[in-house]
């Protein structure tokens, strides 16, 4: 592991962006910056970060939308939301969207730095793996590890689909949502059924539950 953690900072307030960039760099972070949600999403999807600091009110893609898209793509980089929207309901919305931590503006710089250190410590053990019923999905090797069984290798698309479920256990996804998230929109709903079938054949029926009339969700493991 590099001594210099890579941090993505997404903030549209140019002055705050420059100030945080300078301070975090001074603290030893390797900082990439994005001034809108589109650029932030692109960087977060294409580069590897140890931690993300994310504003909410952003041009192009709002911060929590960005975070939801990242989580649904299986990107589990620990994320601290830094926002002026800081009442309890705002914080709940942020945590529900997949943020690990939430800090209101104005903030204390020492508190921000301490929270970032804590986030990284917590994340070191769980990097790039998502919990599955009775096991876990390793995103780097695209393999599912269930119980004592040998790891099962998945295709890119099987892995993306399973990651979408594993990122949001308890969420029922419609076929249309899954098409938009994992497949090209042009494909028919049947593509989703086909890949759910592949996953069940490889990992057992209980890995994904059918929710009649609605869609699919991560299985609860039986």
Q: Which of 144, 148, 186, 149 is nearest to 161 (CA)?
A: 144
The CA dihedral of 22, 24, 27, 29, to the nearest 10 degrees, is: -110
- Distance between CA atoms of 115 and 29, rounded to whole angstroms? 14
- Count the site residues for Ca ion by CB under 5 A: 3
Looking at 28, 57, 59, 131, which residue binds Ca ion (CB under 5 A)?
Answer: 57
Tell me if 55 contacts Ca ion by CB under 5 A: yes
Nearer to Ca ion, 39 or 194 (CB): 39
Q: How far is the CB of 113 from Ca ion (least distance, A)?
A: 21
146 forms bridges with which residues in the sheet?
Answer: 135
Question: Between 37-46 and 63-72, two packed helices, what is the crossing angle to 10 degrees?
Answer: 20
Helix (H) or strand (E) holding 121: helix 109-124
Nearer to Ca ion, 55 or 158 (CB): 55
For residue 150, the 8-state DSSP code is: P
Which span sits near Ca ion by CB under 5 A: 36-44, 48-56, 152-160, 184-192? 48-56
- Distance between CA atoms of 132 and 171, rounded to whole angstroms? 14
Nearer to Ca ion, 12 or 138 (CB): 12
Q: How far is the CB of 180 from Ca ion (least distance, A)?
A: 26
Q: How far is the CB of 53 from Ca ion (least distance, A)?
A: 12
What residues from 60 to 89 belong to the interface with Ca ion (CB under 5 A)? none
Tell me if 53 contacts Ca ion by CB under 5 A: no
Nearer to Ca ion, 32 or 158 (CB): 32
- Distance between CA atoms of 206 and 199, rounded to whole angstroms? 10
Nearer to Ca ion, 14 or 201 (CB): 14
Looking at 12, 27, 65, 138, which residue binds Ca ion (CB under 5 A)?
Answer: 12
- Distance between CA atoms of 88 and 76, rounded to whole angstroms? 24
- Give me the residues that bind Ca ion (CB under 5 A), please: 12, 55, 57
């Amino acid at each position: 592991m590099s001594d210099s953690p890579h941090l993505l900072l997404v903030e549209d307030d140019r002055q705050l962006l420059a100030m945080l960039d300078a301070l975090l760099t001074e603290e030893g972070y390797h900082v990439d910056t994005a001034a809108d949600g589109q650029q932030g999403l692109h960087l977060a999807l294409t580069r590897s970060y140890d931690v993300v600091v994310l504003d909410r009110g952003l041009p192009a893609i709002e911060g929590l939308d960005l975070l939801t898209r990242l989580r649904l793509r299986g990107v589990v980089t620990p994320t601290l939301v830094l926002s002026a929207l800081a009442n309890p309901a705002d914080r709940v919305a942020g945590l529900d969207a997949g943020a690990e931590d939430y800090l209101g503006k104005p903030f204390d710089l020492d508190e921000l730095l301490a929270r970032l250190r804590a986030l990284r410590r917590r994340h070191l053990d769980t990097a790039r793996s998502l919990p599955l019923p009775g096991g876990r999905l390793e995103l780097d090797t695209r393999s599912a590890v269930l119980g004592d069984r040998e790891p099962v290798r998945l295709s890119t698309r099987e892995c993306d689909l399973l990651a979408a479920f594993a990122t949001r256990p308890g969420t029922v996804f419609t076929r249309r949502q899954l098409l938009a998230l994992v497949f090209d929109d042009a494909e028919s709903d049947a593509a989703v059924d086909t890949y759910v079938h592949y996953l069940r054949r490889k990992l057992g029926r209980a890995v994904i539950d059918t929710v009649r009339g609605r869609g699919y969700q991560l299985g609860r493991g039986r």
